[in-house]
Amino acid sequence: TQLLEQSPQFLSIQEGENLTVYCNSSSVFSSLQWYRQEPGEGPVLLVTVVTGGEVKKLKRLTFQFGDARKDSSLHITAAQPGDTGLYLCAGSTVGSGNTGKLIFGQGTTLQVKP
C-alpha cells in the first residue's frame, strides 16, 4: 500500500478540456511536490507547496495543498497536447526536513488529444 494515493491513474481528454488530479494520504506532510515525467527521462519538479491551504499557479496549472497537509490537487485549465505526460505527487514526511524520506504516488498518465 502506497502512502500517497493518486487518482485517476489514467486520463485521456481532448485539447481544451479541464482536468483535476488528486493526491491523498492519511499522513501529514511537511511539504508536497508535483513532478512531471517524459518518456525515457527522470521526473522534473513543477511546484512545491508547504503551507496548509496554499494555492500556487503556474500558467494554466493550479496546485493546492489541503488545509490539514494530507492532500493536494493539480488542476489544468484548457489542456494542450504539450501537457501529455506522467504527473507524480511526492511528499516529505513531517520532521524529515528537505533532506529526508521522499515518497511518491503511483502517478497519473495524462494524454491530451488534438
Partner 1 sequence: NAGVTQTPKFQVLKTGQSMTLQCAQDMNHNSMYWYRQDPGMGLRLIYYSASEGTTDKGEVPNGYNVSRLNKREFSLRLESAAPSQTSVYFCASRGGRVGGTEAFFGQGTRLTVV
How far apart are alpha carbons 110 and 114 in whole angstroms? 13
The Cβ-side half-sphere exposure at 84, using a 13 Å CA radius, reads 11
**Residues numbered 39-78 forming contacts with partner 1, rule: CB under 8 A:** 40-45, 48
How far apart are alpha carbons 67 and 65 in whole angstroms? 7
What is the closest distance, in whole angstroms, from the C-beta atom of residue 45 to partner 1 in the complex? Answer: 5
Which of 61, 85, 105, 110 binds partner 1 (CB under 8 A)? It is: 105
Decide the pairing of beta strands 29-37 and 19-24: unpaired
What is the closest distance, in whole angstroms, from the C-beta atom of residue 60 to partner 1 in the complex? Answer: 21
What is the closest distance, in whole angstroms, from the C-beta atom of residue 13 to partner 1 in the complex? Answer: 19
How far apart are alpha carbons 72 and 84 in whole angstroms? 20
CB nearer to partner 1: give 85 or 105: 105
Footprint on this chain of partner 1 (rule: CB under 8 A)? 2-3, 6, 9, 31, 33, 35, 40-45, 48, 88, 90, 92, 96-107
